[in-house]
């Protein structure tokens, strides 16, 4: 089964996961690295990229 680019972008592009509470956040990667983005639930700045299966 071929991967559809539009679906791949929707699921994985610019999506990050909070390391403390596990909520998903869509944000600009540059802002995440600079520490300007924080979690909506727990206000943590510890984010990681979503794992691609």
Tokens at residue 24, please?
């998903």
Q: Could you give the number of structural domains in the chain?
A: 1
User: What per-residue confidence (pLDDT) applies to 25?
Assistant: 96
Examine residue 40 and state whether it is found in any structural domain, yes or no: yes
Examine residue 24 and state whether it is found in any structural domain, yes or no: yes
Examine residue 53 and state whether it is found in any structural domain, yes or no: no
- Confidence tier at 49 by pLDDT (50, 70, 90): very high
Distance, in Å, from the CA atom of 46 to the CA atom of 53, rounded to the nearest integer, reads 22
- Confidence tier at 53 by pLDDT (50, 70, 90): confident
- Confidence tier at 18 by pLDDT (50, 70, 90): very high
State the residue range of the domain holding 44.
Answer: 14-48
Tokens at residue 35, please?
């520490």
User: What per-residue confidence (pLDDT) applies to 1?
Assistant: 52
Examine residue 33 and state whether it is found in any structural domain, yes or no: yes
pTM over 0.75: yes
- Asked if residue 39 lies in contact with residue 17, where contact means CB atoms within 8 angstroms, the answer is no
Examine residue 38 and state whether it is found in any structural domain, yes or no: yes
Examine residue 6 and state whether it is found in any structural domain, yes or no: no
- Asked if residue 21 lies in contact with residue 30, where contact means CB atoms within 8 angstroms, the answer is no
- Asked if residue 41 lies in contact with residue 50, where contact means CB atoms within 8 angstroms, the answer is no
């Amino acid at each position: 089964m071929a991967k559809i680019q539009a679906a791949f972008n929707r699921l994985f592009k610019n999506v990050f996961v909070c390391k403390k509470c596990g909520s998903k956040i869509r944000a600009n990667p540059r802002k995440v690295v600079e520490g300007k983005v924080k979690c909506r639930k727990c206000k943590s700045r510890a984010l990681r990229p979503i794992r691609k299966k």
